[in-house]
Amino acid sequence: MALSDFIPKEGQARIVDAIGAAERRTSGEIRVHIEPRCKSGDPYRRAIEVFNELKMYETRQRNAVLVYVAYRSHMFAIIGDSGINERVPADFWNSEKETLAGYLRQGDPAGGLCEVIRQIGESLSSYFPWTEDDINEQSNEISYYKE
């Protein structure tokens, strides 16, 4: 099954644009990973595996965020790297999780991901503001694993 079966090409382009816009507010790096099924059965554990596979820990400030979605399993997770987790409260991602869950229930994954990405950029901007010397350390493209 192709990614476009879950999110059409136009929606994918909107997500990539949303990542770019969010990253113009923060030095944080945001990635979206989508796959049909959560291989481990635990979306948080699987998000950590994907985070490591994508080498998202290779950012200067350890401030990368992964939004992981397993659409056939009806699971998702939002995780941040150690630089973020050291500075934010434990419930930092709760608002974003509620937002994404609502959009997914309504059948609008692209809209939900775009809104969550916007929220992440806004939230991170106070902890990791964008600076003149900021470089894009992670791809803005959606990563996808087939079954």
The pLDDT, as a whole number, for residue 23 is 96
Q: What CATH number has the domain bearing residue 100? A: 3.10.310.50
The reported pLDDT for the residue numbered 147 is 67
Predicted pLDDT at 1:
66
12/109 Cα distance (integer angstroms): 10
Domain count, the chain: 1
Taking the alpha carbons at both ends of the chain, their separation in whole angstroms is 7
Let me know: does 26 contact 124? Beta carbons within 8 Å: yes
- Which stretch of DSSP H or E encloses residue 68? strand 64-70
| Helix runs in the chain, H state only | 9-23, 43-53, 82-85, 94-105, 109-125
Q: What share of residues in the chain are helix, strand, coil (percent, to 5)?
A: 40, 15, 40
Could you tell me which residues come within 8 angstroms of residue 125 by beta carbon, excluding any fewer than 6 positions away?
25, 26
Find the domain containing 131 and state its range.
3-144
φ/ψ of residue 92, rounded to 5:
-55, -40
Taking the C-alpha atoms of residue 144 and residue 4, their distance in angstroms, rounded to an integer, is 10
How far lies 141's CA from each of 17, 88, 145, in Å?
9, 26, 13
Within the chain, what is the greatest distance between any pair of CA atoms?
A: 41
pLDDT tens for the chain, 147 residues long, are 688 889 999 999 999 999 999 999 999 999 999 999 999 999 999 999 999 999 999 999 999 999 999 999 999 999 999 999 999 888 889 999 999 999 999 999 999 999 999 999 999 999 999 988 888 999 899 999 886
H helix intervals, 24-87: 43-53, 82-85
